[in-house]
Amino acid sequence: MKKGLDICLICMMLVLSNVFVFTTLPVVSAENLGTSVNSISPYWQNAIPEVNIRATVNSGTADNITLYYRYSSNNASWSSWTKWNGINNPFPNFPWAWTFNCPSGTGYYEFYSIGAKNSSYEPAPGSADARCHVTVSTWTRFGYYPVGYKSDDLTNVLQGCNFTCPSSGIADNMTVWLENGDLTANVSCAIYSIDRTTLIGYTEEKTIGIYQGWVTFNFIGEPFLVADTKYYLVVWGDGGHTRYNYNDSYHIIGKTGVTYTGIFPDNILGWSIWTSHVLSIYCRYTEYGPNSNPVNSNSYPINGAVNIPLAPARLSITVNDANGDLMNITFRTNESGTWKNADTTSIIGNGTFYCLNTSWIDSYSTKYWWSVNTSDGHGGWDNDTYSFTTAAANTPPNTPNNPNPFNHATSIDINADLRWTGGDLDTGDMVTYDIYLGTSSNPPLKKSGYTSTTYDPGAMNSYTKYYWKIISRDNHGASTSGPIWDFTTIRANNPPYTLGHPYPENGAINIITDIDFIWSGGDPDVGDTVTYDVYFGSMQPLQKVASNISTQIYNPGILSDGLTYFWNVIAWDNHGLSTNGPLWHFTTTSTSNNPPNKPSKPTGQIYGTTKQLYLYTTNTTDPDGDQVYYLWEWGDNSFEWVGPYDSSLVINASHAWAKGTYQIRVKAKDFHGLESEWSDPLLVSMPKTKIYNPIIQLLYKILEHFPILEKILNQYYN
């Protein structure tokens, strides 16, 4: 019979194969998976070392999903995207999840995912899927790890163990090893006081299917654990075959006949204690040091402030808790004579926060008291009281006055600025100006909300009458209108000439200490008058030593020896345009320097042939050992500087003459510019032709010691 059925089944399959066309399913591409990282909430992940991250496949199934992240310390400059290689999955019943341990520490993180299907990968998104800020702290883990297994049903049974908390902190989660073989179980966890009379905190409820492994339950709220205190960690559920690891040295507690509701009782007194087993669970929490009080700072208004406007936009305070605790802030005021709340801000981290209710600040010239109370939920608090005084009743701005150009002025440059005096009697008031300018007696608005009392209207028309007025407005809405003024323009004005031709010359040295400064200036516009401001000194910035002088000469007084001075001049015309001259400098002579000694009388040929070069020598010494220059005077109206040479060195120079008798002399100048007196002269004679006569030559040698006779002989010889 079975064989016949098998044959029949085969025949039916053959028939069906002729009716249906079997096709191969297309390969699914990863491009359409649409994976994304789930939003992370809350955005501010405070006092944790790691973030649990999940990804979702929006279409189909993925073979694999890879998590990518990047980091910024300031939410502005970001690292490059990096593949996350962590493989620890805190949610075994959720296939795509990661425990991200914040490898760069406290800061900002962004995430996206890339899915894979059939060896293809979806492209990276254009922006992050999820983001958060993490303040990293250290986890401390407590609990008991498994040494074996036992099949203890969880149905309507509370199981748990106790532990001692060594330091204070906020409980974050409990992790339990679950073995659920064939039924679905609803499970949640809690912490009780060691006497089982007080529920400290409880976790989310999770539905566990057929599963074996560790499951993490996050606490709802922030149960606070106290150092050196014993607690019971308990697990409750309704699964018929959900089992736990155990350790025979600890306890399991429970009570039969109690139906699981997912809501923990306020106490578990009367629940039986089983001494044969202990549940293998552990609690993870953020460890605190000694609790620090929050600190209030940077109040606005600052304590004792004055001239505060009525109903300011907000009061503010900066709060900081060194433990990173979430805080509650209460703003209070006693403007009615009794302290009462003005505003509150709850469950906030460190930062600046505001009291937006300021309608009670409604009287001028009144002193108000306000306070800020900040608490951290763990017994820490700060309370500070401040005061401020409101401004007096507002007065309108001053009437605009002192116009420049003055009223009915003529010959005003077409590039002139408009100036006036304004302001406000109320200290702290901000004043703006509406400027009216035009060629009609009722000038149009040219500029509104202007904050300066100088306005550049741009180039105006030549030989034109203009009308203008100013309206002042303060920040309280009051205004004051000035009168209508007028002025008449003339041609365009040019600034003064560029200053030049300074004396002393720029860079000059060895300048005497009693001199006048001289320069060239003037103005290209006929009829313009020019005055000069002189700036002078041995160090910069220079000091103004003369103002509005009308001449191009200035005497600075007796200067110091051997010092470098700087000076410059600014020229102003009578229309207010100026030209800033260049920065010049010079150095005065030093009184500690001595001039070179008188050079020796030149030696060399005393007669010769015209147009023939002859060599002459001399030397001198400098008392200061300075190098020296020599100035040769050849007697034919020609001079020649040579050098520099070392002191005492014999030097030479050559020269050629036309027919005649000449006196050669020389003087020296040191490196600082001081000059010696002239040497004694040497008389030379240049006839047309050279006549060699030994007697005459000998006579010339003798006559060098008798200058008068030498002169007579030369006249005769030539």
| Coil, helix or strand at residue 129 | coil
Checking DSSP bridges between strand 485-489 and strand 409-412, what pairing results, if any?
parallel
- Report yes or no: 409 and 450 within 8 Å, Cβ to Cβ: no
* Rounded-to-5 percentages of helix, strand, coil across the chain: 5, 45, 50
- Report yes or no: 253 and 236 within 8 Å, Cβ to Cβ: no
Residue 113 amino acid letter:
S
Of 195-199, 224-228, 693-697, which gets the smallest average pLDDT?
693-697
The pLDDT of residue 510 is above 80: yes
The rounded distance, in Å, linking the Cα atoms of 279 and 594 is 107
The rounded distance, in Å, linking the Cα atoms of 324 and 383 is 18
The rounded distance, in Å, linking the Cα atoms of 62 and 57 is 7
How sure is the predictor about 267, in pLDDT bands with cuts at 50, 70 and 90? confident
| 316-347 core/surface letters (b: 16 or more CB in 10 A; e: else) | bbebbbebbbbbbbbbbbebeeeeeebbebee
Residue 440 amino acid letter:
S
Print the SS3 string covering 256-308: CCCCCCCCCCCCCCCCEEECCCCECEEEEEEECCCCCCCEEEEEECCCCEEEE
Beta bridge partners of 370: 333, 386
The pLDDT of residue 383 is above 50: yes
Tell me the average pLDDT of the chain.
79
What is the percentage of the chain residues whose pLDDT exceeds 90? 44
Print the SS3 string covering 179-220: EECCCCEEEEEEEEECCCCCEEEEECCEEECCEEEEEEEEEC
Give the helix/strand (H/E) hosting 6: helix 2-19
- Report yes or no: 391 and 420 within 8 Å, Cβ to Cβ: no
Of 338, 433, 417, 368, nearest to 575 (Cα)? 417
Identify which has the larger pLDDT, 492 or 356: 356
Q: How many CA atoms lie within 13 A of 207 on its CB side?
A: 2
How many other C-beta atoms lie within 10 A of the C-beta of residue 276? 11
Give me the mean pLDDT over the 528-557 stretch. Answer: 94
Q: In the numeric block, which tokens belong to residue 717? A: 């010889």
Of 291, 286, 282, nearest to 140 (Cα)? 286
pLDDT (0 to 100) of residue 10: 36
pLDDT (0 to 100) of residue 206: 83
pLDDT tens by residue, 43-94: 887 645 456 677 777 777 778 888 899 999 999 999 999 998 765 454 444 5
- Report yes or no: 490 and 470 within 8 Å, Cβ to Cβ: no
pLDDT (0 to 100) of residue 426: 83
How sure is the predictor about 581, in pLDDT bands with cuts at 50, 70 and 90? very high
Give me the mean pLDDT over the 230-240 stretch. Answer: 69
Of 399, 406, 405, 436, nearest to 421 (Cα)? 399
Of 403, 557, 566, nearest to 470 (Cα)? 403
The pLDDT of residue 209 is above 60: yes
The rounded distance, in Å, linking the Cα atoms of 581 and 213 is 88
Those residues with Cβ within 8 angstroms of residue 367's Cβ, 6 or more apart along the chain or in another chain: 387, 388, 389
pLDDT (0 to 100) of residue 177: 60
How sure is the predictor about 11, in pLDDT bands with cuts at 50, 70 and 90? very low
Of 79-83, 334-338, 339-343, which gets the smallest average pLDDT?
334-338
The pLDDT of residue 421 is above 60: yes
Those residues with Cβ within 8 angstroms of residue 1's Cβ, 6 or more apart along the chain or in another chain: none
The rounded distance, in Å, linking the Cα atoms of 562 and 574 is 39
